[in-house]
Structures are given as structure tokens and as C-alpha cells.
Structure 1
Amino acid sequence: MHARAAAALTTALLGTAALLLPATDVRAVEDGTPPTVIAHRGGSAHAPENTLAAVDKAARLGAVWVENDVQRTKDGELVVLHDDSLQRTTDVEQVFPGRAPWKVKDFTAAEIARLDAGSWFGAAYAGARVPTLEQYVHRVDLHHQKLLLELKNPELYPGIERETLKLLANEGWLDRKHRGRLVVQSFSAASLRTVHDLEPAVRTGFLGTPSLADLHTYASFTDQINPSYTTVSTAYVSAVHAFTGPHGKPLEVSTWTVNTAEAARRVAGYGVDGIITDKPDVVRDALSG
């Protein structure tokens, strides 16, 4: 274990006192940089999540980073959708009434392309479609944004890591220009290990809050630890920062899903590197204020 990591781990384990430290802007004290604001599923408080309209809205709100989710259709197309079912965010029940439970993996790309993915959010977005990953990365690139891409439910889609990386490579997202604008994340450590093994230059992020004792294992294949904001503290963030990731830099922390000014200021005080939010405007204003 790195000496700094050992020291941080020791400090963090010295009882609950360290966890009760008042929130101070640790990161700002260290380097003067506020946390990066990451638009969760695009500007999803203002437009239907994961649609191209949500990417456009995030861009208008000034969000440099956008987060999204990738899954795979029955015929092998990569599409951008959070749930493994189409039911919540499309009109699939009306278009295909006899095909419950309407899982993404049971529909072809052509069938999914027929669905309305916007009306559930508001009439102004009627006719919005579930984008393919190819369409999505084109739109992100158009806005000169950066991409936090989650491999959603990879256990449902064997081989999705290789397929996603292939598509990203074909669209130019693995070249030197784009690599600094891309992080692939997942709740699955095994999936991230696969990504790291296939494309060691690609940065990765683990979604969750690993124990302090296990952080050294994650540091071998991931560049970020991205926990729920309800599970982080100054001590935990400091312990993560003390480890060096596979690209020779300290591990980073981006926390989710922060949608109030109060929570944004609190986690910024913990020293996090990024804040994932449905409301990038609210978080941006909270941090600037």
C-alpha cells in the first residue's frame, strides 16, 4: 500500500471522530478548484432523461460533463436508457401491449426506435426517441462535452464492454483527443476490470462505496470511486484521494445524485471532485455562490 494511503486508512479507522469533522471546502483549500458539475442522464430535471434533448439542455445550462447509461437490444444495438425495462420512460405498453415486462434486451433496435421517449415527461418532448449510443456520442461531441458513460446491468449483456469500446473507437472517442473527455463507470467491478484490461488507457469509475480496507484493490483498475452522496464524508474522500490509480494520479470521487444547493455545498465541503446531478443549474449556482 502507498504510504499516503496507509496513513489515510489509519486516520479514517480511528473511530467516529474523523467522520464527524465539520464540512470544509477541502478540495478548494488544496487546489482552488470547485467540484466538476456532471449532468445526470443529461439535463434530466428539465428534459426527458437520456434523450438527445437532455444532452442539448445540459449544454444550454453550461454542463461540460454529461452522464448516461448504455444497454443492448435483442439484435445487438447499443442504446442509451437507464432502466432495463422500456416501461417507465416510453410508450412501449401502448405500442407493444402484449410483450410485458418490456425489457430492452427483448426488443430490436427498430422496435425501440418506434417508441416515444418524451411524452411521459411533457408534451413539448412528444416524439423524442431512445437514442443509440452512436447518436448520443455524436451529440455530446457536437457540444464539445465530456462523457461519463455507465455500463448499465452488464450482467444482462455478456460482452457489452468490448462492444461499447469498439463503438467508441469507431466514433473516435478512444483517440488521444477524446480520452481525457471520457470515463466509463459501472456498479460492476468485474465489468470495469474487463474495460481496463481491454483498453488500459480508458479511465474508469466504480459506482459505490467500497470499504476502506478494499480501496487498494479498486485502485488497480479504476480511476474514480463514485458513491451515493448519502454515504460520503470528509474522512472517506480523503482516504480515497490517498490512493494512486492505474494512470498514476490520485483516485477521484464523483458523488450522486445531488439535487439541492444544501447537499451540493455539503459534499463540496467533503472535497469531492465531481457532483452528479439532475439539476446542473442548481448545483452550479450553489457552488459559485
Structure 2
Amino acid sequence: MRIRPASAVTSAFVGLSVTALTALGSLGVASPPVHAAQRVSSPVVIGHRGVPARAPENTLASIDRAAKLGVRWVENDVQRTKDGALIVMHDTTLARTTDVEQRYPDRAPWKVSDFTLAEIQKLDAGSWYAPRFAGERVPTLSSYLRRVDRNRQKLLLEVKAPELYPGIERQILAELDRTGWLDRRHVDGRLVVQSFDAASLRTVHQLRPDVKTGFLGAPKPSELRSYAAFADQINPSYKSVTEAWVRSVHALKGPHGRRLEVSAWTVDDGDDAVSLARKGVDGIISNAPHEVAAALAEDADDDAFLNGLTNPADTDALVDGIL
């Protein structure tokens, strides 16, 4: 992954400004005021399955590491076991991120829905990533929700492959309610439920109209109004995002009467994150959220410094007079 290197913009202008101001002072000319930099707004950065750049995805270790790095929003995926339990897992099979092939070699293709919760909880979900995570387990949704709450984090919850799990929307909402995630404090600012499946998202909205929802995809501008009836966010792959498309999304209001939002995924490059911020996205989903946040903060500081240093006419006159 390539993260945007430290910018030379601020340091270059600081050097120019110090030289210019020193020269003006030696001529007895009063220096123009240098205003304190003010941070420009940046997109919210969301840890994709926690912080996979530092810990195995969709585990408690991953969201704990995200919390230690100051990542306030985390994203995860929910699926259902053979015996009806809800677990946190991205892939619809267990092979990539557990030792299921070694433990149950005769049960290919190792679908989540073919295993009971007790069988899944015997799996090692950390060794594939690094030896220090050996013994990490696949979390239940309940344990995951409680840990996110304990960490004082916020949650972007994906209903994964709902076509495989009829009725899972009602079950997820029941678990959210049981663990306290549907009270006013959580619903008003700490929870978004998203899905690639529009029908599933409509079901969530119908069952709990107060819950904020996000559609995963990039509908054409002409189609956006139909999604605004049940989705508060339109969350596309970052590769499909243009400034004009973001404006089209922002021009509409969602079911709660607020402007539709855009959270783009999955962005691990600082330059890409800065480009998206300049296109106006509201959120960025990343495997390395701490590094993306640092790149955005640096870019915001550069902009704030240049905007606050002096106005463009003053800058031109200052540079022309010195050079």
C-alpha cells in the first residue's frame, strides 16, 4: 500500500514567508499579519473490518487495535450459522481467514451456513495473519457489538449476502436491540446499517425507520431518487467516484430529511483519499484508517495554512516584491 508522503507544501511556504517577512522587516516595512491556520473539514474515516493493516480483519483484536489508533468508526459484516447464530465474517466461506480446511478437511467448500456456532468457535481466526494472533476467534455479533460499545466506537454494519439468510434483517435488528444499540444515543449518531442488496436495505428501513442506512453501490444520477426513499447514504467503490456524481448525491435528501451522504471504499492510499476529500465525499472506508486519516489531516493543515497565511493578492505582492 502507498500512503501519501509528508507534504513539502507547508514547509516550502513557511520558508518563503520567513524569508519574505525578514526582508520586509529589514527595510522597515510592517509585516502582514499571519493568521492562525484553521482546519478544513475532512471526511470521516472508517476502519474496514477494523484495521486489517495491523490485525486480522473482523476480529475483536482488529477493532481493539483500531481503537488504540484513534479510529472511531469501524465496519463489519454479519452472517448466520447453520444453527441460526449471527457471527462477524466477511467471506461467505471460512477458508481464507480461519484454519477450517485443516480442522474440517472433508467439508469443502466450508460455507459459513454449513457450520454450527460451536464448530466455528473452535476455529483459529488469527494465525493466518500473524503468529501473535494465534487463537483469535470468529466473534459473534453480540460479542462484537459489546466490544465496539466498550471501545466507544461507532459502527457501520453490513448485512452480508442476505439472499443466503432469509429473515436475517429482523434477526440483526433484534440483536442490536438486545445489546442496546437501538436506543436513541446509538441510533442518532453511532450506527449505520448498509448492504449491497436494495431489497434487504428496504426491509431494514421498513422495520426500523429511525435507523440510518447505506446502499453499497453507485447508481446512476437518474436512479438516485429511488434509493433516497430508503437510504441515507450511497456508498460506492472509490474508483467510480467523480465530483459531479457526488454533487448529484448531495442534491437529494434521504428518508430522514437530511442530505444524502457518500462513503467511498476501500481506500488505502493517501493520495487517493485526498483526491476523494476534494471531490466532496463524506466518508472514506479504509484498511489502514489511521494512515489515511493522517494524510487527510496533513492535507487539511496545508490548505488551512495557505488560506490563513494571507490573501492571494497579498501573497503575489509579497513574492513579487522580494524575488
TM-score > 0.5, shorter chain as reference: yes
Letter in 1 for 2:161: N
2:165 alignment partner, one of 151, 157, 179: 157
Instruction: Determine helix, strand or coil for the equivalent of 2:156.
Output: strand
2:65 alignment partner, one of 53, 57, 62: 57
Distance across 1 between alignment mates of 2:130 and 2:142: 25
Residue of structure 2 equivalent to 1:219: 228
Instruction: Determine helix, strand or coil for the equivalent of 1:79.
Output: strand
Alignment of 1:1-289 (within 5 A): 32-179=40-187, 180-289=189-298
Letter in 2 for 1:235: A
C-alpha deviation, 1:264, in angstroms: 0.6
C-alpha deviation, 1:61, in angstroms: 1.1
What does the per-residue CA deviation read over 1:102-121, in whole Å, with 9 as the maximum and x for residues that have no partner?
00000000000000000000
Instruction: Determine helix, strand or coil for the equivalent of 1:127.
Output: coil
Distance across 2 between alignment mates of 1:37 and 1:142: 20
C-alpha deviation, 1:33, in angstroms: 2.0
C-alpha deviation, 1:32, in angstroms: 4.0
TM-score, reference length from structure 1: 0.89
Residue of structure 2 equivalent to 1:18: none
Letter in 1 for 2:154: K
Letter in 1 for 2:245: Y
Superposition CA RMSD, Å:
0.8
C-alpha deviation, 1:282, in angstroms: 1.3
Letter in 1 for 2:129: F
Distance across 2 between alignment mates of 1:281 and 1:42: 11
C-alpha deviation, 1:44, in angstroms: 1.0
Letter in 1 for 2:110: W
Distance across 1 between alignment mates of 2:212 and 2:186: 11
C-alpha deviation, 1:281, in angstroms: 1.5
Letter in 2 for 1:36: V
Distance across 2 between alignment mates of 1:124 and 1:176: 39
Distance across 2 between alignment mates of 1:44 and 1:118: 11
Letter in 1 for 2:125: A
TM-score, reference length from structure 2: 0.80
Structure 2 residues not aligned, in runs of 5+? 1-38, 299-323
Instruction: Determine helix, strand or coil for the equivalent of 2:262.
Output: strand
Instruction: Determine helix, strand or coil for the equivalent of 1:252.
Output: coil
| Structure 1 consecutive aligned stretches of length 4 or more whose deviation exceeds 6 Å | none
Distance across 1 between alignment mates of 2:120 and 2:292: 33
Letter in 1 for 2:257: G
Structure 1 residues not aligned, in runs of 5+? 1-30
Distance across 2 between alignment mates of 1:35 and 1:148: 15
What does the per-residue CA deviation read over 1:198-255, in whole Å, with 9 as the maximum and x for residues that have no partner?
0000000000000111100000000000000000011011110010000010000000
